[in-house]
Amino acid sequence: MSALDVVIRPEAPGDEEAIDAVVRQAFLQQFGSDSEVGLVRNLRGRGELVPDLTLVAELGGRVVGFIAFSEVTLDGERAGGLGLAPVAVDPHYQGAGIGGALIRSGLERATSAGWHFVVLLGHDHYYPRFGFVPAAALGVRGDYGDGSSWMVRSLRDEPPAPGHVRYSTAFLD
């Protein structure tokens, strides 16, 4: 099995339980918490997920991975920015490139759709391979501090404008 065997597609009605299971398993294993399941449910319930960028990875017709993007604001204004959160892969399939395939597909789709930048809070040794850099160095601040795990990736030729990024309201619950 490799990432080449995986089908990446937008989330569809009926995927919710399978997505919950993948997110729960992935985050319980890595962080000992399944709070990300509630985050995804809140994002979906409030219509804050970007539908064309909320993707699942299927292997043999079974959902084994998930990635979500929601719009963020910059200094309180819409600026073409997205927050990537969460990305999850069933622990039985981690290390096979599925997470990377989801991230690459999401970023390609976001670029094609005209979005300007993506922010995330994640592993500073993993996300740079997808073009993410520490956000603080570019003057992009957020509610999660300015450590090396707070990152940004431009989807255009120029970096995002400096300012304070805010995630959608589901992240406040």
**Does residue 86 have a cis peptide bond before it, meaning omega lies within 30 degrees of 0?**
yes
In the chain, domain spans: 3-172
The answer to whether 133 touches 151, Cβ cutoff 8 Å, is yes
173 has a pLDDT exceeding 80: no
Of 6, 4, 147, 171, residue with least CA distance to 73: 171
Non-local (6+) Cβ contacts of 101 within 8 A are: 3, 6, 8, 57, 65
Give the model confidence (pLDDT) of 91-143 as tens digits.
999 999 999 999 999 999 999 999 999 999 999 999 999 999 999 999 999 98
Tokens found for residue 38 = 């509630």
Task: Provide the pLDDT confidence category of residue 4 given band limits of 50, 70 and 90.
Answer: low
Task: Provide the pLDDT confidence category of residue 171 given band limits of 50, 70 and 90.
Answer: confident
35 has a pLDDT exceeding 90: no
29 has a pLDDT exceeding 80: no
Q: Taking the model in full, what pTM does it have?
A: 0.93
Non-local (6+) Cβ contacts of 53 within 8 A are: 10, 67, 68, 69, 82, 106, 109, 110, 113
Average pLDDT over residues 40-59: 95
For the chain, how are helix, strand and coil distributed in percent, rounded to 5? 35, 30, 35
Fold of 3-172: Aminopeptidase (3.40.630)
d(CA 61, CA 72) in angstroms, rounded, equals: 32
